[in-house]
Amino acid sequence: MELPAAITNLPKAPTGIRGLDDITGGGLPRGRPTLICGGPGCGKTLLAFETLARGAALYGEPGIFVSFEESPADLRINVANLAIDVADLEQRGLLLIEQISLDQGEVAEVGEYDLEGLFIRLGLLIDRIGAQRIVLDTIETLFSAFGNQNILRGELQRLFRWLRQRGLTAIITAERSGQGLSRFGIEEFVADCVILLDYRITEHVLTRYARIVKYRGSSHGVNEYPFTIGPRGITMLPITSFGLRYPVSAERISSGFPDLDQLLDGGGYYRGSTILVSGPTGSGKTSLGALFVAAACARGEPAIFFAFEESADQIARNLRSIGIDLQPWRDRGLLQIISSRPSLAGLETHLITLLEVVEQSGARAVVIDPITGFHTISRPVDITTMLFRLFDGLKSLGVTTLATSLTNAGADPAQSEVNISSLVDTWIVLRNHEANGERNRSLLVLKSRGMRHSNQVRELVMDANGLRLVDIYAAGETVLVGAARIAEQERLRHEYELRERETIQRQRRYALQQRLLSLQIEALQAELAALTDEMNADAALSEARAQAQIQSRLATSRYRDSTQEGSDGR
């Protein structure tokens, strides 16, 4: 929950309890008393103790637990599985558990008295460890030990004032009865913060609730917030606590299915994203989930497969039949297959258990198969809310989640899950195609935020060799899958071969023609050369003849000149 911090600058003492600090905007009022009321078995003592112990363990604030009822030994047993080392905190002087036993009904009262003895004792304890937090559980029992209510009310009022003056973050627990918040109206004195705990049983399932009745000087969540008491104490998951604040990763991780990675812009899913795989029975949802966790394990990342319909061994066996072997990852402790029936627990418990298991295991990839299993135990609106919180919670842990969703045959998946589609980053739709006496599967990436994904429907082929995606053949209006696709593929192959053969023949003919032409060119070239030779020879001959003619003409004229000179001289 986004709380407007500006409204209050009231100092807060974080409880360290997940979720509670969200709805209180940071914790309990620091240095002031808080009242926690509720009926028996509501978890008051645990909430108080956890706040104290976590305050000591996480924030180094020493705390005192003053029990007016339970013995410290009993209390230690009750909180033994909080994942907090109580003994260690006690040894380090960060935690003090003290019982103040009351002599029930053995005390005679004669005249005026006060509870200065209690103040002195608390003062001693506080000074002993320099306490900053204190729990008084359950201070109301004083009312059964002492008779004079007027004196008690006055003294309690003084006690709270005194605690406040000493700057102690105090938690007082009170038994709820009837109309009022507490049996003796203690809420009148402890006015800073009042938290009411309650539980209800619906459909044989117990759900615990917490509500902040009052928080002076601070804004706070006003709803009833469900919480669980789990193996690690109290967990509250405020519906809106996450408020869309999680780190966004640009890292891509494989879907474990190379063909699908290709459709997803070649890279697979975004790390920390939420993937929904929806489809009818037997369309391959679980297989996609299994491939995804197997790929995570192959990267060395721990993964969890939550199975709400089948047992772990059943899933492992079924996947082996399509060539996916999860056993090695299970043996190496990387993969957990957690199988449970949705009806075994309430929605809230499922949600918190799931998140707790994921967080503890440090899993990086989670499969929930299927999320639709919860429809058997709850109303759709509750499931949507739960999924909202679940996906948010997983996202804030940086976990990549793949959830499967069963759609009814015939229903349009894009319609039936419209209420959760906004929650998921990548939505893969699987369909069954029944035609020509056989059933085949197809896969479509309906949406995938932040990447250019394929918009093409592919046929999903599953056999002993694993999963493959093949292009779908469309003949006119109909999509061809299975045998029809194979027939179409054959026809197309024949056509192609025929064309191929024709081309080769044509090529051969061209080459022949080319060779013929070049031969012809060669012959003509030779002819041309011969002709040139002949032409040159002829020209030389003519020249020689012309020279000879000139020479003879010169000789003739020289002869005629010499004879003409002799006759003239007589």
Residue ranges that bind other proteins, judged by CB under 8 A: 100-103, 106-118, 120-121, 123-124, 142, 145-146
Nearer to other proteins, 118 or 357 (CB): 118
What is the maximum span of the chain, computed from C-alpha positions, in angstroms?
209
CB-based contact 68:228 (threshold 8 Å): no
Q: Cβ 354 to other proteins, closest distance in Å?
A: 46
Q: Cβ 151 to other proteins, closest distance in Å?
A: 9
Nearer to other proteins, 145 or 414 (CB): 145
Q: Cβ 108 to other proteins, closest distance in Å?
A: 3
Q: Cβ 130 to other proteins, closest distance in Å?
A: 17
Retrieve residue 379's tokens. Answer: 């109303």
Please tell me the distance from the alpha carbon of residue 270 to that of residue 405, in angstroms, as a whole number: 20
If one counts every other C-beta atom within 10 angstroms of the C-beta of residue 508, the result is: 10
List Cα–Cα distances, 536 to 369, 532, 547, in angstroms: 99, 6, 17
Neighbouring residues of 135: CB distance < 8 A, sequence distance ≥ 6: 48, 49, 51, 52, 63, 64, 65, 66, 170, 171, 172, 173
Q: Cβ 117 to other proteins, closest distance in Å?
A: 4
Nearer to other proteins, 104 or 567 (CB): 104
List Cα–Cα distances, 347 to 18, 273, 377, 379, 528, in angstroms: 18, 23, 8, 10, 101
> Which helix (H) or strand (E) element contains residue 429?
strand 426-435
Select from 168, 219, 155, 233 the least CA-distant residue to 25. 219
Q: Cβ 120 to other proteins, closest distance in Å?
A: 5
DSSP 168-222: -EEEEEEE--SSSSSTT-GGGT--SEEEEEEEEEETTEEEEEEEEEEETTS----
Backbone Cα Rg of the chain = 46
CB-based contact 368:285 (threshold 8 Å): no
Nearer to other proteins, 111 or 569 (CB): 111
E strand spans, 224-287:
224-230, 233-236, 252-253, 269-270, 274-279
Phi, psi of 114 (to 5 degrees): -140, 180
Nearer to other proteins, 101 or 520 (CB): 101
Nearer to other proteins, 134 or 472 (CB): 134
| Residue 238 DSSP symbol | -
Nearer to other proteins, 98 or 488 (CB): 98
Nearer to other proteins, 79 or 142 (CB): 142
Nearer to other proteins, 157 or 177 (CB): 157
Select from 288, 272, 302, 236 the least CA-distant residue to 391. 272
Q: Cβ 93 to other proteins, closest distance in Å?
A: 17
If one counts every other C-beta atom within 10 angstroms of the C-beta of residue 44, the result is: 26
Select from 315, 283, 254 the least CA-distant residue to 408. 283
Nearer to other proteins, 118 or 239 (CB): 118
Q: Hey, is 434 helix, strand or coil?
A: strand
Q: Cβ 113 to other proteins, closest distance in Å?
A: 5
Nearer to other proteins, 106 or 203 (CB): 106
Nearer to other proteins, 108 or 381 (CB): 108
Q: Cβ 87 to other proteins, closest distance in Å?
A: 21
Select from 42, 47, 62, 238 the least CA-distant residue to 133. 62
- C-alpha 322: how far from chain center: 26
Q: Cβ 19 to other proteins, closest distance in Å?
A: 36
Q: Cβ 389 to other proteins, closest distance in Å?
A: 46
Q: Cβ 107 to other proteins, closest distance in Å?
A: 5
